[in-house]
Amino acid sequence: MPGSAGIVDAFLAASRSGDFNALVALLDPDIVLSADRSPAGVPIQIRGASAVAKQALAYSHNARFARPALVNGVVGVIVAAHGRLSVVLGFKIRDASIAELHVMTDPAHLRQLDLAVLSE
């Protein structure tokens, strides 16, 4: 059973390769994805492994810029295209699957996070 870092690494690998089935396998069936804002500027929430995997793949073009990181001391992901931080993913792992995924894009929120990039 992989630890949190292994699950996050597997999530990145599946996102980068566009592997829908691998993503679903990593997600708790009742996963909740929450985002502090959508492209329309409002918070969103998505429920269920299939819906969250589809959403992750919709943004998979950003996965090449994603790196594992400590986010407030917990394994997560940062996305920094061309060195500019734009997205932070926070994960809640339960029973070796991703139970919650928090997508943070609000610049004010990003500035408050304690981040440390991990090697892949």
Domains of the chain: 4-117 (3.10.450.50)
Q: Can you read off the two tokens belonging to residue 76?
A: 């997560």
- List the Cα angle 59/112/34 in 5-degree steps: 40
84 φ, ψ (degrees, to nearest 5): -110, 115
Nearest-angstrom CA–CA distance, 42 and 27 = 24
Pairing of strands 27-35, 97-104: parallel
CB atoms within 10 A of CB 12: 18
Q: pLDDT tens, 63-119?
A: 899 999 999 999 999 999 888 999 999 999 999 999 999 999 999 999 999 999 887
62 band by pLDDT with thresholds 50, 70 and 90? confident
Closest Cα to residue 16, out of 54, 52, 55, 64?
64
- 107-120 pLDDT per residue, tens: 999 999 999 988 76
